[in-house]
Amino acid sequence: MTENNVAGLPAGDEKYYTLGAEVHDTKANTDVPIEKIWPDRQFNAKLVNPANRRKMTVIVVGTGLAGGAAAASLGEAGYHVENFCYQDSPRRAHSIAAQGGINAAKDYKNDNDSVYRLFYDTVKGGDYRARETNVYRLADVSSNIIDQCVAVGVPFAREYGGLLDNRSFGGVQVQRTFYAKGQTGQQLLIGVYQSLSRQVAAGTVHMHSRHEMLELIVKDGHARGIVTRDMVSGKIESWTADAVVIASGGYGNVFFLSTNAMGCNTTATWRAHRKGAYFANPCYTQIHPTCIPVHGENQSKLTLMSESLRNDGRIWVPKRAEDADKDPRQIPEADRDYYLERIYPSFGNLVPRDIASRQAKNMCDEGRGVGPAIKEIGPDGKERMVRRGVYLDFSDAIERLGKRGVAAKYGNLFDMYKQITAEDPYETPMRIYPAVHYTMGGLWVDYDLESSIPGLYVAGEANFSDHGANRLGASALMQGLSDGYFVLPNTMNDYLAGNHEGKLPDDDPAVVEAVASVKDRVNKLLAVKGERTVDSFHKELGQIMWEYCGMARSEEGLKTAIDKIRVLRDEFWKNVKVTGVNEDLNQTLERAGRVADFLELGELMCIDAMHRRESCGGHFRVESQTPEGEALRDDKDFLYVAAWEFTGDGQKPELHKEPLVYKAIELKQRSYK
């Protein structure tokens, strides 16, 4: 590590951030064996009498798997729940887009799976940068998740004998992924929606669709409510409660092009961050290796092709660059490089996402990429044309299983690919390339999923807790349902038992201040009256983030990105063009507020990536790699969670380190060879 200066930081870092006190999770009793920590916490957490729950109100922001499950479960428990989403229906939450499956340690395939193995695979897959207590709990409740989903009617795939079927996902050598064809997220979300609808009908949950959270209300240091904007009428309202849950998803759209729905944003979490909630590990973003490649300059969305395809599809590129523009069916077997099978013989095409993504980039950087060449800006700032694609080939699977057998497993994915590309994957190999997908960073939470603001809980992808530096495939759905169905209902009671203040009046100073800040921000955006569109700013930000904070990062590049983002943000507030008025449906205003938050988050992501001078999982620093080009961790200097505190507009963020302690797992370098 570079020499420290008087501020306790590496020389030069004092320009970007300050160092604060360490932060610790005090809710998990690590003096007991890891398998007893969750039962111990459940027993020692305070309870709320069922009759008293009816007197308490909880706000839940988000209706995906985490938010919807939390709202339904808390409503079922007897609490009054105010549930918010910006979509026109809870069923439009982005969880619906998940395709491949959900993990659980049931060992239905009798291939030596277990709770401990799922725990171990998850910590290892995250490159030993996850908190092991939270991960073990996730593995422990995974089987309960499947039982719950079956009970509400999720139509999981089944074997001939009627048992639930399983398939493999990246980073593991067992079959533990439950699935519903290629639409698992959709089916799970429908199950959650049914549970949620039952509580809406019962009157315990009050649903507010087309409402976007724009501010967190904090009184006496505790989260007490939110401020929303009605996206149809523009009405700005305050809502107060005894506690708040944010389950608003991740921030992958900071890159502009991602697999996320175009409405996905960071505003709910970023507004909470600005009110005092620590933001943990923002540089940990996941690049998914199995996406339809970029095909032009005017795209606004990338499409995910499920990781489940890597069960039967084989990934390859031509051995010679001169074959890159040939029809793949005309390239003989001897001239194909099945590079993942060659480099990682133990895991082959099912290596973790970060590894598969980097190797795809390496093949294309060597000039062996396939598909049309696209224009991009190189590290030297000059334009170049590069083929960004590799083949995902099902010819062996079709020969082995038949077309009907492949269609039974992946038919809807094949249809989707054909609709988008006008190519038939039954006849010619798919072309895939990595794209921004999931974010492992998020608001810092303790074992109870409570943030650094008492009374503010964070669930699902919006928090940082369970995946470390890389998420294994089929674990996002597992975490969302675990947090919503099983964790929050057993931890929030500890807070609510001692903090039942009821709703705040509209004239409370904390409410008045929060509402005024939202109105001021909206008016400021409308008053700029510049000449440049919101989307042009978002697209430029995305290009900066992808080039300098994407698949590979360097100190020089990250410092360049920080400077560019600051200049872009200044221009945004001077020259953005926001048409229309607040008191109406105004999608330009909606996007402007979200992009303003992305511009602030993007800078923090680059500062976090710059300060972490190691490679781990999805965070690959070119200065820290093995001779074979693999990620090289630095456990001596970076075995911690980076939790960032907002200190004010124009002020340097403050870094709080949470040391990571491994008692149940041996800390070692990852290997999938």
The residues annotated with a catalytic role in the active site are 353
C-alpha span between 63 and 192 (Å, rounded): 9
- What's the token pair of residue 643? 């939790």
Beta bridge partners of 237: 228
Q: How far, in Å, CA of 595 to CA of 573, rounded? A: 11
Write the CA distances from 283 to 43, 269, 439, 442, 470, integer angstroms.
Answer: 36, 15, 9, 10, 11
Distance between CA atoms of residues 563 and 566, nearest Å: 5
Helix (H, G, I), strand (E, B) or coil at 137: helix
For residues 438 and 252, the answer to whether their CB atoms sit within 8 Å is: yes
Neighbours of 374 (CB within 10 A): 18
- Of 97, 109, 111, the residue nearest 164 (C-alpha): 109
Spatial separation of the C-alpha atoms in residues 348 and 334, rounded to whole Å: 18
Q: Please return the burial class of 49, using the count of CB atoms within 10 Å of its CB with bins 0-12, 13-18 and 19+.
A: exposed
Query: What phi-psi label fits residue 529: left (phi over 0), alpha (psi between -120 and 50 degrees) or beta?
Result: left
**Contact assessment for residue 594 and residue 588, using Cβ atoms and an 8 Å cutoff:** no
Q: Cβ of 666: how many Cβ atoms within 10 Å?
A: 7
Task: Please state, in angstroms and rounded to a whole number, the distance separating the CA atoms of residues 612 and 610.
Answer: 6
Query: From CA 324, how far away is CA 255, in angstroms rounded?
Result: 28
Judged on CB neighbours under 10 Å (0-12, 13-18, 19+), 217 is buried
Q: Among 619, 625, 628, 616, which Cα is nearest to 667's?
A: 616
Hey, what are 626's tokens?
A: 């093995």
Taking the C-alpha atoms of residue 574 and residue 578, their distance in angstroms, rounded to an integer, is: 11
CA 361/CA 307 separation, integer angstroms:
17
- DSSP classification of residue 487: I
Please name the helix (run of DSSP H) or strand (run of DSSP E) that holds residue 246, with its range, or none.
strand 243-246
With tokens 């995946």, the residue in question is 467
**Alpha-carbon distances of 443 from 84, 437, 463, rounded to whole Å:** 19, 18, 5
Q: Are 143 and 105 in contact (CB under 8 A)?
A: yes
Give the Cα separation of 439 and 264 in Å (integer): 12
164 alpha carbon, distance to own chain's centre: 27
Strand partners, 463: 443
Question: How far is the C-alpha of 287 from the C-alpha of 34, rounded, in Å?
Answer: 31
Which residue in 563, 387, 487, 649 sits closest to 137, CA to CA? 487
Q: Assess contact for 490 and 42: CB atoms under 8 A.
A: yes
> 220: helix, coil or strand?
coil
Type of residue numbered 28: A
